[in-house]
Structure 1
Amino acid sequence: MYQNFATTARPEQGPPRLAALRERMKAAGLDGWIVPRGDTWRGENVRARDERLAWLTGFTGSAGFAAILHDKAGVFIDGRYKIQIKSQVAPDFTAVDWPATKLADWLIAELPEGGTVGYDAWLHTPHEIGELREKLQPKGIGLEPQDNLVDMIWEDRPAAPDAPFIAWPEEYAGKSHAEKRAEIAALLREAGQKCAVITLPDSIAWLLNIRGDDVPSTPVPLSFAILDDTGRCELFCPKGKADDLRDHLGEDVDVLDIDAFLGALGQLSGPVRVDPKSAPSIVETTLKGWETKISEDEDPCILPKARKNAAEIEGARAAHLRDGAAVCRFLHWLDGEAEKLGQGDHRLTEIGVVTALEGFRRETGELRGISFETIAGAGEHGAITHYRVTEDTDREVRPGELLLVDSGGQYLDGTTDITRTIAIGQPPEDAAQCYTRVLQGMIALSRARFPKGLAGRDLDALARFPLWTAGLDYDHGTGHGVGAYLSVHEGPQRISKGAMTVIEPGMILSNEPGYYREGHFGIRIENLIVTREAPQIPGADDREMYDFETLTYVPLERRLIVAEMLSAVERDWIDAYHATTLEKIAPRLDGAARDWLTAACAPL
């Protein structure tokens, strides 16, 4: 998928759709209806036909949900979207600070005893419904699964994409899917489980070495799978999607129609492994209806997928060098454009920035698509954490402001994600000091050396501390996992205040602290890093330690670095990073772009 700039939802569309939904609720005898952002497959990116939250409310953020009552409509959003939601939803909807305000607490406060809330059992997990029911039942509020009421009123709902699945080459995967199936089957036998129901598309993509084109930016195959303890697998997908994969999948993988999935659950003998935090609730209720023994356990592919093997890491390195050269060509172009601003009628817009960057990536000849919609926020738009420029919001890039560009590419050998904040002319007051603090946090995490067994929450403060000392912070995680030609936001590995997953070798993460001043500017600097075993220090004990290898090599914004604020160690890190960037990227450039890189990488 490549970028488009269409406005997909408008605030004024919300009220009549809300009224129609309430009529359906009334007819169904419901006092409330839950509208999640996610789809059946729990993906951050969803098909146009599954954008129910945006269609109903106008809110297009990648996380959140709505709870619709007859007299109130709450849209639950986290700190990343506090600015964005103000311009996207009509007054009929009320923004609710989440997770500070829990859905159950809000429903209890707003609904009378005896109320009933409906939900689509394909769109919520057993864990979500169980937690909600546990809190609502004592208050006399019921939960009832129903056919989706939003789908009933969505008359022009888009069709599902029909592009076929493809095989992902073993040279990039590092293992055959037979080896992976055997590995996961061994885990099932060890746990005493007869089979696993796998519903996350990126897990299925990893397990079977296949990819798809079903959702924007993320090459996953929307499907379901059942893997037994011998390694045999059933793949459930829409008709025709896997026709070209017969030879690739082999005799031990059966391809069945997706409509047969629920029926197949009735043929299973337990214990059946089901992930209560990712499977649709209807999976558990169907198995319970057949009185099949369920073993609630994490998706068995989650951690093996997160621990990249040598081939996947090598692919990531290659993808980042290719992508880094494209981004450097873009930054050289951007500097030239910025110099022309104010001369005659020359102008540069956010859409122009996005289009140019995508063009440089396309010129590699290996771009499969963007890994998410490019964020190009000029001035006050940079303070909107997940800003998406549209034809309606597009504005000029002007001298005297910052431009935040967060983007990534999908290549067969890897997924990239990089953010750079650029000064357009003289930067705003205080911006350089804020940028330098963000950079200090990024450097601290890049240099981290830590003992085996630490989780993302243990590392998060390293990136925030330089900001904290000035009374500043940011309302998003410091780092997310990244897949191998898969999701740019991969779990379970994260670096954030609440990240509990232990960081292990092979895990690719982003390193992206930021600072946002509403109405003025936003700053974020992002490199991708991969966890590895740290070299031993002579004379130290033999405790097992990890550190990070940097994957992203693109110059930092020298015009925003206040060298006097840096320690000697930080200056040395920047100089070393730039020297390595020049060494790795310069051979991929020529002419003026190479000269630009040489200047951008000069020692501080």
Structure 2
Amino acid sequence: MLESFRKKICDSGADSALVFRTNQFLQIPRLSDHPMHKLSGFTGSSGTLWVGLEDIALFTDGRYLLQAEKECKDRACVYEYDALYHHIQSHSRVVLIDPWQVSKEQEETMCVQYAPCEVRFKKLFSFTQEPAQTLFNLPALGRSSQSWKKWFQHPILVCNSQDLSFLCRLGTKNTFLPTLQGYGLGWWDNALQGIQWLIGVDAPIIEKESLPPSITCLPLERWKRIVTEKFSKVYYIPKQTPLGLLEWFPQGYVMEPWNLQEKRCIKTQEELDAIRQAHILEGVAFTRFLYWIETQGVTGNFTEYDASVQLEIFRRDSPYYQGPSFPTISAAGPFGAMIHYIPLPEGKNYIQNGPYLIDAGGQYYWGTTDMTRSVWLGLETPDSLYQEDYTQVLQGHIDVAMGTFPKGTNGCVLDTLARNALWGAHKNYEHATGHGVGIFSNVHEGPIQLSAHSRTPLEPGMVLSNEPGYYRKGFWGIRLENLFSVETDQQEWLRLSVLSLAPFQRRLIQPKILGKQRISWLNSYHQKVFETLSPYLSSEITLWLQIQTRPYDV
């Protein structure tokens, strides 16, 4: 593929091309079908590939550096994102970009950022057709199309799959991201008193149940013909509309403002109630897994991938479970230091005594989960340095969890709070402390983020992760993650309410380092874990959980 791709670059009068991790819907697709993986071997979800006529360079963030260096060895040089602009300016005269991989907004930005390099937009890839999508209706959970009436007085192109599924109240059986992959045109119908939808898809649609009469799904070419013939004026959202799609609609007008993302990330009370139920189901499965990995997993017979399958088995005991919300990170020993390491089915890394990290999430019919635990397996005493690292990470987690903060506080403040204990020991981690989470949608939901770059104020109803970590290259990785909802504490103050339910490994915690206030929070959390989950567990696991959650003396 590389030689034919370079020939395409040369025949176009260019000397390089940029390849992004997205598909024609600006979503991150199945790995095996993506050009970036075929060209470089990289399996991460965040990266930009520069392909020259003689060499290749991959640019990614701190979460994937170790992974990228291993996967791209002998195929591409690996750099952090910060080096991308300089690399383009010093190595490219004319760079090609596929217009279906970038939005209209990105086009305008790139032409400025990459100067004096000339940017040309040319179709480079024929993306693999998505598999058949099985659709079903989602409950309203306090949402009404009346809320969006003012936006849809004119026909609007909605290309973001989360926005489209949210507005149509449709779910899918798609792996990891159960949202509708397609392009939607919506407009307000006064007779219907709702939004009428024409949705173009490039894959067969299977209706698990009858769709509302307001929704019509069509093959993409037929959709294109009907929309261009029927509508003389179409509005689009620059941030989410592929540049290639706008070539079909030269009559397009910019829709401003469009802040649906900011509105849907504030959950209704009905949604929050449903999310809590999903977390109970996930907590039961996750706790069963933690018991299994501690008591049966270290036999030399189970690989990291086998362990991830075992978690799936526990989850599928619930009829409401739909599938994982992302590929499970199951990492033994030094592989835990690769922040987004994902074991392969054919992998031969067996679970051994020592450090182990599990980061996994599930899609339930009414909620999305994401939780991480780090444990020390085997009967021998855990490494004292591992205990120290673990307890300092837990300090940061609890500092965020028990914090109160004024309305208007941005996520960057909580990110600093999570790092203070580690910074005091001259330690740090190369990822954000947290991200927003959807409801039967994307496990990474913008614009919420707990990071140094976050400028989005936290508001009641938001759901976010809290996942500080520490990674010793060649030894282990530690990350401790729960999901929380933001709620009102007093008139002008906010706090976090924990959603995730599973124990922290007791024998790794150094109480003297935690201090009384954090111990009090931990005791309260563990009491909640035990009281909520024990009715759904076997007597054997309940006894184990009782020991894990036994309160410390304050």
- TM-score interval w.r.t. the shorter chain? over 0.9
Letter in 2 for 1:469: G
User: How far off is 1:40 after superposition?
Assistant: 2.4
Match of 2:365 in 1: 412
Say if 2:175 is the partner of 1:211.
no
> 1:181-196, aligned counterparts within 5 Å?
182-187=146-151, 194-196=154-156
Q: Which has the higher strand share?
A: 2
Match of 2:5 in 1: 21
Say if 2:362 is the partner of 1:362.
no
2:393·2:480 contact (CA, 8 Å) conserved in 1? Answer: yes
Task: Pick from 300, 325, 332 the counterpart of residue 378 of structure 1.
Answer: 332
Letter in 1 for 2:46: A
> 1:2-21: CA deviations, max 9, x gaps?
xxxxxxxxxxxxxxx32221
CA distance in structure 1 between the aligned counterparts of 2:128 and 2:242, rounded to whole angstroms = 22
User: How far off is 1:269 after superposition?
Assistant: 5.8
Structure 1: which 5+ runs fail to align?
1-16, 152-156, 537-541
Letter in 1 for 2:272: I
Match of 1:3 in 2: none
1:354·1:374 contact (CA, 8 Å) conserved in 2? Answer: yes
Q: 1:519 to 1:547 in 2, by over 3 A?
A: same
Letter in 1 for 2:467: E
User: How far off is 1:127 after superposition?
Assistant: 2.3
Identity %: 28
Say if 2:526 is the partner of 1:558.
no
Q: 1:41 to 1:593 in 2, by over 3 A?
A: same
Match of 2:388 in 1: 433
Match of 2:160 in 1: 200
Say if 2:130 is the partner of 1:160.
yes
> 1:413-469: CA deviations, max 9, x gaps?
211111000111332341111111110111111112111122212221111111111
Letter in 2 for 1:554: A
User: How far off is 1:592 after superposition?
Assistant: 0.5
Letter in 1 for 2:57: G
Letter in 1 for 2:118: G
CA distance in structure 2 between the aligned counterparts of 1:201 and 1:308, rounded to whole angstroms = 18
> 1:194-593, aligned counterparts within 5 Å?
194-214=154-174, 216-228=175-187, 231-238=194-201, 241=204, 244=207, 248-250=211-213, 252-260=214-222, 262=224, 264=227, 268=231, 273-284=235-246, 286-287=248-249, 289-290=250-251, 292-298=252-258, 300-337=259-296, 341=299, 346-399=300-353, 401-425=354-378, 426-534=381-489, 536=490, 542=491, 544-593=492-541
Letter in 1 for 2:239: K
Match of 1:120 in 2: 98
Secondary structure, in 3 states, of the residue corresponding to 2:454?
Answer: coil
2:41·2:71 contact (CA, 8 Å) conserved in 1? Answer: yes
Letter in 1 for 2:186: L
Say if 2:35 is the partner of 1:52.
yes
The total of aligned residue pairs comes to 545
CA distance in structure 2 between the aligned counterparts of 1:363 and 1:275, rounded to whole angstroms = 41
> 1:330-384: CA deviations, max 9, x gaps?
111122126x64xxxx544212311211111112233211111111111100001
Q: 1:512 to 1:136 in 2, by over 3 A?
A: closer
CA distance in structure 1 between the aligned counterparts of 2:400 and 2:481, rounded to whole angstroms = 11
Letter in 2 for 1:108: Q
Letter in 2 for 1:569: Q
CA distance in structure 1 between the aligned counterparts of 2:502 and 2:113, rounded to whole angstroms = 49
Q: 1:560 to 1:120 in 2, by over 3 A?
A: same
1:223·1:235 contact (CA, 8 Å) conserved in 2? Answer: no
Letter in 2 for 1:460: D
Match of 1:131 in 2: 109
Q: 1:37 to 1:243 in 2, by over 3 A?
A: closer
User: How far off is 1:248 after superposition?
Assistant: 3.5
Q: 1:258 to 1:448 in 2, by over 3 A?
A: farther
1:217·1:369 contact (CA, 8 Å) conserved in 2? Answer: yes
CA distance in structure 2 between the aligned counterparts of 1:257 and 1:56, rounded to whole angstroms = 30
User: How far off is 1:225 after superposition?
Assistant: 1.4
Q: 1:260 to 1:116 in 2, by over 3 A?
A: farther
Secondary structure, in 3 states, of the residue corresponding to 1:165?
Answer: strand
CA distance in structure 2 between the aligned counterparts of 1:160 and 1:49, rounded to whole angstroms = 12
Match of 1:101 in 2: 83
CA distance in structure 1 between the aligned counterparts of 2:97 and 2:470, rounded to whole angstroms = 37
CA distance in structure 1 between the aligned counterparts of 2:347 and 2:31, rounded to whole angstroms = 21
Secondary structure, in 3 states, of the residue corresponding to 2:134?
Answer: coil
Secondary structure, in 3 states, of the residue corresponding to 1:211?
Answer: strand
User: How far off is 1:84 after superposition?
Assistant: 0.4
Q: 1:52 to 1:474 in 2, by over 3 A?
A: same
TM-score by length of 1: 0.85
Match of 1:174 in 2: 142
Match of 1:70 in 2: 53
User: How far off is 1:158 after superposition?
Assistant: 5.4
Q: 1:576 to 1:245 in 2, by over 3 A?
A: closer
CA distance in structure 1 between the aligned counterparts of 2:457 and 2:155, rounded to whole angstroms = 26
TM-score by length of 2: 0.93
Secondary structure, in 3 states, of the residue corresponding to 1:574?
Answer: helix
User: How far off is 1:523 after superposition?
Assistant: 0.1
User: How far off is 1:187 after superposition?
Assistant: 4.4
CA distance in structure 1 between the aligned counterparts of 2:209 and 2:522, rounded to whole angstroms = 50
Letter in 2 for 1:448: G
User: How far off is 1:509 after superposition?
Assistant: 0.7
Secondary structure, in 3 states, of the residue corresponding to 1:95?
Answer: strand
CA distance in structure 2 between the aligned counterparts of 1:234 and 1:462, rounded to whole angstroms = 45
Match of 1:6 in 2: none
User: How far off is 1:87 after superposition?
Assistant: 1.6
1:456·1:495 contact (CA, 8 Å) conserved in 2? Answer: yes
CA distance in structure 2 between the aligned counterparts of 1:337 and 1:281, rounded to whole angstroms = 52
2:303·2:347 contact (CA, 8 Å) conserved in 1? Answer: no
User: How far off is 1:273 after superposition?
Assistant: 4.8
Secondary structure, in 3 states, of the residue corresponding to 2:83?
Answer: coil
Letter in 2 for 1:121: P
Secondary structure, in 3 states, of the residue corresponding to 2:405?
Answer: strand
User: How far off is 1:476 after superposition?
Assistant: 0.7
User: How far off is 1:547 after superposition?
Assistant: 1.1
User: How far off is 1:43 after superposition?
Assistant: 2.4
User: How far off is 1:213 after superposition?
Assistant: 3.0
Letter in 1 for 2:351: V
Letter in 1 for 2:105: H
> 1:149-201: CA deviations, max 9, x gaps?
x44xxxxx85520133221133xx333xxx22x21222466xxxx34321011
User: How far off is 1:503 after superposition?
Assistant: 1.5
CA distance in structure 2 between the aligned counterparts of 1:367 and 1:520, rounded to whole angstroms = 34
